[in-house]
Chains A and B, each alone.
Chain A
Amino acid sequence: MTVSSPAHSSETPGVVLRGDFNHRDHRLFDGLELTVQAGEWTCLLGPSGVGKSTLLRLLAGLDTGGNFQGTIVADDSKPMQNRIAYMGQSDLLAPWLDVLDNVQLGARLRGDSPDTARAHRLIARVGLTDHVSKRPATLSGGMRQRVALARALMEDRPFVLLDEPFAALDAKTRAEMQELAAELLAGRTVLLVTHDPSEAARLGHHIRIMTEQGLCAYPTPESPPIRPYDAPETIETQIALMNQLRSQANA
């Protein structure tokens, strides 16, 4: 695997979230501490409704509809605002804009003049040069997520928050997107929320399982990500993770 992204590790900060969260009168989590390691991928697994996406939205500074009491502190003590890039489960492409303008959406929304040459380079890196002036409706699901990835890269932020971005893709496309994302986001501080143990086993430098009791760390294979999907240690981790999730669900 070639790491063509600049190495951000040295200057990329990590972030730690500590606190309690209430949604209406329901306590979603209590005294929780989530560390997202600098320049690495942290994968967050857990059952639906446990608050994974809420954690991600808190880090992104988005509305959660609840009450968070606690702190979100980056290693360099600077605010998180305007330092995160976000990718969701749906590609969130604007259907009226072509691929190029979708990649440049951030600049358009900030009223800046976009760096079109850079946008073209990123579109080339996700392999969509031939589709640069196409609208999203004419692209496949995998291509659309690649546009979304290029758009996230265009923002060039140290923190990248991924909320199940590959969940809706078919197995082959998902594996390809995982490889592309691992390559292009290398060196950034990434938090990936996922339901898929195999995804966490392939991509995670760190794996955290979130339950109603809180967060627990789960050991990752020794080899660095991204791991081949068919490597024995990937498969072992995937199975062990699955067992862990099931035993917790039954507990």
Chain B
Amino acid sequence: MRKGVDLIMAFGIAIAVWQMIVWLTGVPHFILPDPVRVWQAFISNFELLYDHAQITFAEVLAGLLIGSLLGMMTALHLMISPAARRLLLPVLVFSQAVPVFALAPILTLWLGYGIWSKIVMAVLIIYFPVTSNFYDGLRRTDPGLLDLAKTMGATEMTILLRLRVPAALPSLGSGLRLAAVYAPIGAVIGEWVGSSHGLGYLMLLASGRAKIDLMFASLFVLAIFTVILHALVGRFAKRLTDWSG
């Protein structure tokens, strides 16, 4: 309850500051529209925003799901296989030196203007945080607990599934929370590079036509979606690890 009140207060203050800046600087509305104008743009373009938002949300959710699953599977594989650690780990680390944004044009070239290039973009951007967080968690199981398991006659597989994986869930939760914030960035960058749908496309379109109020409205829809997605993923992660306090 307190948190909700704080959130509304913070939001209210931000809107007020924004309005103050517009008043005090007298900046023209095609450079920085005031909150009321953005709200009007949101209402009058609701259907348009809704259509484009659906596409972006689908891309983000698909990217989040696929990227998280791939990341989790990679982390488990790295844990099980020494060969994977030797061969895959250096490649994974090196791949982080390649700016994912720079891949967007190539993905559009390969996968076209449809949603798949954006989904893959979101997958690429979240794959590493999920993998590395989960893998770190899997490796950091209490060595005492592992010793105990060995004296109990546990096999490597039951140690992995019944000790390492549950012990790593808080780390996985951190990775998933990061992924919830990064996935929309990936999808929107994909849309900027080449698309005919989605909030990123709508932003570019609105900007090109000097409809800055519509651009801001799109931005807010995206921001609110990201905040809600982050909160939902956070709640899911917390449920996974209600024991960790």
Interface of A with B (CB < 8 Å)?
Answer: 57, 60-63, 81-82, 84-86, 88, 90, 92, 94-96, 105-106, 108-111, 135, 137, 155, 161
Contacts and interface: CB of A to CB of B under 8 A. Distances in A.
A62 B243 contact: no
Contacts of B149: 105, 109
Contacts of A57: 147
22 contacts: A60-B147, A81-B153, A85-B151, A86-B147, A86-B148, A86-B151, A88-B148, A92-B144, A92-B145, A94-B163, A94-B167, A95-B243, A106-B152, A106-B153, A108-B158, A109-B155, A109-B158, A110-B153, A110-B155, A135-B243, A137-B245, A161-B151
A153 B151 CA distance: 13
A155 B151 CA distance: 10
Given A94-B166, A109-B162, A84 B151 contact: yes
Given A109-B163, A111-B155, A94 B150 contact: no
A61 B163 CA distance: 20
Contact of A61 (B145, B151, B162, B244): B151
A81 B153 CA distance: 8
Interface of B: 142, 144-145, 147-155, 158-159, 162-163, 166-167, 169, 241, 243-245
Given A96-B243, A108-B162, A135-B243, A90 B144 contact: yes
Nearest to A155: B152
B243 to A, nearest CB: 5
Contacts of A86: 147-148, 151
Given A90-B144, A92-B145, A111-B158, A62 B166 contact: no
A109 B145 CA distance: 12
A151 to B, nearest CB: 9
A110 B152 contact: yes
CB-CB nearest 6 A-B residue pairs: A109-B154, A106-B152, A86-B151, A96-B243, A82-B153, A96-B166
Nearest to B158: A109
A63 B144 CA distance: 11
B158 A62 contact: no
Nearest to B169: A96
A86 B146 CA distance: 12
A57 B143 CA distance: 13
A105 B245 CA distance: 22
B159 A109 contact: yes
Contact of B142 (A61, A92, A137): A92
